[in-house]
Amino acid sequence: MKVFYAKSKLIPFLASERAKGKTSGLVPTMGALHEGHLALVKASVSETDLSLSSIFVNPAQFNNPEDLLSYPRSLEEDLEKLKNAGCDVVYVPTEEDMYDPFREPGFRFDFGELERILEGRYRPGHFNGVALVVAKLFNITQPDFAFFGQKDLQQFHVVSTLVRDLTYNIQLRCIPTIREKDGLAMSSRNRRIPLKLRPVANIFYRSLNAARDMLRNGKSIQETRLQIHNLFRKEPEVDLEYFEVVDTAEFTIIENIRNENKTALCIAGYLNNIRLIDNVMYI
Ligand code: AMP
């Protein structure tokens, strides 16, 4: 496995691999890798000739400076995990390799309504930062495929919009969420959950399942939303930010389910000061 710290070395290397006719797949990450990330890498390994991962804690997508500071970092372990998963190339840029240290990026994405609902609403500027770094990574690595997790469902929609609107010749793959035994969605932030709060953490997944049962049994979205809010009120260590039902075709919040196989239930909130998100499909 080759590790690059500078795009000036990575770009010619990838060009020479492409010239040999190899297809490539990119898995962008922020490190602190777990089985969820590795599922993306394994999907890339099985579908492409050259599997590429990036590790970069992107400051532009953090709207909360404390979250950025406390974000877990474990580069050596990450590289070992990537090697074992069959990854061929890792790009670990320095901040200067991604952003001009003397100038804030002048370009801004506008994803319209997408930036005003759910993650967009609660994390202002987040999707602009995500799109900026993903576009840079696409331009640098020019992959044939890129792999993202369903866990960040709205992010997948943002990246799909980016690919469509800017005509990137990249096929996107959305990989199902990998969970702990009790259902908690794997996340780098889970490392920060104190042991004594760990049993409460799967409330997000439990709520999604309970909500899905309610909806399937004919309860309205409005009533279901109310019940999920009540459930969270009973748990002092957790705060619910949102529970919404979404039509994934255009990624809009809905009040009536029309398209069952394009309906997702999305949730986000805090366990202590740790922000967790999750979602399940209605079907
Ligand atoms: P992150 O390092 O959190 O930016 O995540 C990098 C990629 O891994 C994103 O596409 C995430 O959606 C994906 N990912 C994170 N957690 C999981 C999980 N539990 N299962 C599947 N994919 C995941």
| Residue pLDDT, tens place only, 191-222 | 999 999 999 999 999 999 999 999 999 999 99
Name the residue of 151, 153, 275, 276 whose CB sits within 8 Å of the most ligand 1 atoms, as the mutation to test its pocket: 151
d(CA 140, CA 7): 7
Helices (H) and strands (E) in the chain, counts: 10, 10
Q: In what order do the strands lie in the sheet with 145-149?
A: 2-4, 89-91, 50-55, 24-29, 145-149, 171-175
Name the residue of 26, 35, 40 whose CB sits within 8 Å of the most ligand 1 atoms, as the mutation to test its pocket: 40
CA of 272 to the centre of ligand 1 (A): 21
CA of 116 to the centre of ligand 1 (A): 22
Q: Tokens representing 233? A: 């009120």
Local confidence pLDDT in tens for the 283 residues of the chain: 999 999 999 999 999 999 999 999 999 999 999 999 999 999 999 999 999 999 999 999 999 999 999 999 999 999 999 999 999 999 999 999 999 999 999 999 999 999 999 999 999 999 999 999 999 999 999 999 999 999 999 999 999 999 999 999 999 999 999 999 999 999 999 999 999 999 999 999 999 999 999 999 999 999 999 999 999 999 999 999 999 999 999 999 999 999 999 999 999 999 999 999 999 999 9
CA atoms 249, 113, 274, 108: torsion sign? positive
Give, using CA atoms, the residue closest to atom 13 of ligand 1.
149
Give the angle 98-102-106 at the CA atoms, nearest 5°: 70
Name the residue of 37, 145, 150 whose CB sits within 8 Å of the most ligand 1 atoms, as the mutation to test its pocket: 37
Active site residues: 37
Question: In 166-234, which ranges are continuous DSSP H helix?
Answer: 203-216, 221-233
d(CA 239, CA 275): 9
Residue 263 identity (one-letter amino acid) = T
CA of 133 to the centre of ligand 1 (A): 15
Q: Would the pTM of this model clear 0.85, i.e. be above it?
A: yes
Residues contacting ligand 1 via CB (< 6 Å): 29-30, 36-37, 39-40, 148-149, 151-152, 175, 177-178, 185-188
Q: Which ligand 1 atom sits nearest the alpha carbon of residue 37?
A: 8
d(CA 68, CA 186): 19
Q: Which ligand 1 atom sits nearest the alpha carbon of residue 152?
A: 12
